[in-house]
């Protein structure tokens, strides 16, 4: 929903950020205790430097688990900075959300990190590219059947969090180191 950026994206960005915050409230999303949703005033560091390429680096909406409902992923900021957490709000038929924590940091600046949608398709993984030897449960090529969440450090490492239907959980696969 918020991955649209066409034309003059910079003029639309404040509206997108406000829309993201409004949508979080309208869908009944509540940040876990000690965390908050980012706002337009939180753009600094890499979020500000790469704003033209990735206008909203802290929010992705997609049906991650294939149940036909829109789920939301957020990089939430700790009330006591510099901590942050990456969470997915999985939608349910009743309108409630199951909160799943994928990553948390207490000392790293969140502005070094971003998230974006990974579309279904084939992705060569870090071990498949030869960065290290693939472990038994680590594929050389990740074949996504559902949208997933790409989590990255700007100009550095990248991983994909994807829904494993067999286990009913997210798995992380490194795409680059």
- pLDDT tens track for 122-136: 999 999 999 999 999
CA distance 104 to 110: 10
Question: What is the reported pLDDT for 4?
Answer: 27
Q: How confident is the model at residue 140 (pLDDT cuts 50, 70, 90)?
A: very high
Global pTM reads 0.84
Residue 27's pLDDT band (cuts 50, 70, 90): low
What local confidence, expressed as pLDDT, does residue 95 receive? 86
Q: What is the pLDDT of residue 9?
A: 40
What mean pLDDT is reported for the chain? 87
In terms of Cβ atoms closer than 10 Å to its own Cβ (0-12, 13-18, 19+), residue 175 is: buried
For residues 5-24, average pLDDT? 41
pLDDT of 171 higher than 70 = yes
Q: Which of 24, 148, 147 is nearest to 77 (CA)?
A: 24
pLDDT of residue 11: 40
Asked if residue 66 has pLDDT above 90, the reply is yes
- Contact by Cβ (8 Å): 171, 149: no
Is residue 14 predicted with pLDDT exceeding 80? no
Asked if pLDDT for residue 53 goes beyond 90, the answer is yes
Token pair listed for 44: 């600094």
């Amino acid at each position: 929903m918020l991955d649209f950026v066409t034309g003059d994206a910079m003029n639309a960005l404040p509206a997108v950020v406000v829309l993201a915050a409004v949508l979080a409230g309208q869908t009944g999303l509540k940040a876990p205790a000690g965390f908050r949703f980012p706002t337009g005033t939180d753009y600094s560091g890499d979020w500000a430097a790469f704003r033209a390429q990735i206008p909203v680096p802290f929010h992705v909406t997609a049906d991650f688990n294939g149940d036909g409902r829109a789920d939301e992923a957020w990089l939430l900021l700790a009330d006591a900075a510099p901590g942050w957490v990456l969470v997915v709000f999985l939608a349910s038929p009743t309108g409630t959300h199951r909160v799943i924590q994928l990553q948390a940091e207490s000392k790293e600046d969140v502005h070094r990190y971003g998230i974006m949608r990974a579309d279904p398709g084939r992705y060569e993984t870090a071990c498949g590219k030869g960065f290290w030897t693939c472990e038994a449960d680590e594929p050389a090529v990740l074949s996504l059947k559902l949208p997933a969440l790409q989590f990255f450090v700007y100009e550095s490492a990248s991983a994909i969090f994807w829904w494993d239907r067999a286990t009913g959980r997210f798995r992380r696969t490194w795409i680059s180191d």
